[in-house]
Amino acid sequence: MSPPRLNKREFLERAIIVLVVALVPVLVWFLFDVILVAVGAIIVAILLRLIAEPFASWGKLPQWSALTISGAIVVGAVGGAAYLFGTQIDAEMSDVLQRAATATTTLTTRLQGSEIGKILLSHIQGGGGFSIPNLLTRLFSVSATFVGALVVTVVAGFYLAAQPELYRSGLAKLFPHEWRDRVNESIDDIGQGLRLWLIGELLQMIMVGVLSTAAVWSIGLPSPLALGVIAGLAEFIPYLGPIIAAVPAVLVAVTKGGNAAIWTVLAYLLIHQIEGNLIAPLIQRRMVYIPPAVMLLGLVIILFLFGGVSLIFAGPITVMAFIAIKKLYVRDSLGEETFLPGESA
């Protein structure tokens, strides 16, 4: 029996669907910077609504009033920290970069004194003019493009926080009518997962930042506050963040001598073990648990496809993809029992 023939309208609809599916990877590739800004805006919106929740639920304030207070708290916290510690952090950051460059030059000179060192340097610096000082400068410098993207991200985040239903329903209307309930449900599940993930990340960032500041201060390294801020911010990047944070700390320690460098390496290893075996499991058990291999592979794939800048939001992107696959494929398509973040097991 031959399959039923499609009329022109059905054929056109299916052709458009195939074309859209084929164009999605291309659009993601060319618009990834926009995707990063969108993910950043979502994170800002979730943070604002998270802070506003106590005022709306416990204080019985209208949503707009709670969000206004939430925004004022965020702006006040950032502005207050900049006023109290901005000058000190800026000076310490400059000191960290200067000492890291000095340490890199010293290490390079020593490596050039041996054949093995020359081979190692040729592999590190070959092809593209790579150098650690330039890398650190790019990581911790602020460009006009970055500032512009940050402003757009924050403003868009405020709009998303103020009217989430408007944008949620608008996104759902891009899909056929019979799919919209599932789309809305999936958006809610992903939003809940991101909310719990963000709470966990903020807790881990604060704890690791405090531990790192105390560790380098006790060792006697200069600029402990800047090194602690770097460690806390780098914790936003799962698994790779501690390695990124340890590099400037070790380079600064090299300028103080071999003993300081050894103690710094040991301190960061200890903090990493505490974070990985104590802090993270306790937090993830109540928030969002993603198998370490899945998270790490997600970070590597995003890094390989879109470059180093994508690492900033590689964590939340992986969380979104993980929850979407569990919800839409494992549960809805395969019919397997699986639990999403926020659901009781």
Residue 339 lies in a domain: no
Q: Do residues 86 and 68 touch, judged by C-beta distance below 8 A?
A: no
Identity of the highest mean pLDDT range in 13-17, 215-219, 236-240: 215-219
pTM of this prediction? 0.74
Report whether pLDDT(266) > 90: yes
Domain-located, residue 50: yes
67 within domain boundaries: yes
- List phi, psi (to 5°) of 290: -120, 130
Position of tokens 């809610």? 188
H helical segments located in the chain:
8-30, 32-57, 63-111, 115-125, 132-140, 144-162, 164-172, 180-219, 224-234, 240-254, 258-274, 280-286, 292-306, 314-324
- The pLDDT value given to residue 89: 65
Is the Cβ–Cβ distance between 212 and 249 less than 8 Å?
A: yes
In a domain, 1, yes or no: no
Q: Is residue 61 part of a domain?
A: yes
Which among 27, 319, 294, 101 has a CA at the least distance from the CA of 201?
319
In a domain, 27, yes or no: yes
The reported pLDDT for the residue numbered 128 is: 47
Q: How many structural domains comprise the chain?
A: 1
pLDDT (0 to 100) of residue 218: 92
Rounded CA-CA distance 202/183 in Å is 28
Within a domain: 338:
no
Q: Which of 87-91, 202-206, 218-222, 228-232 has the lowest mean pLDDT?
A: 87-91
> Is residue 3, in this structure, part of any structural domain at all?
no
Assign 272 to helix, strand or coil. helix
Residue 42 sits in which domain range?
Answer: 8-333
Give 267's pLDDT tier (boundaries 50, 70, 90): very high
Q: What are the tens digits of pLDDT across the range 217-230?
A: 999 888 888 888 88
Q: Within 10 A of 35 (CB to CB), how many other CB atoms are there?
A: 16
Q: Which residue has the tokens 């090194």?
A: 227
pLDDT of res. 68: 85
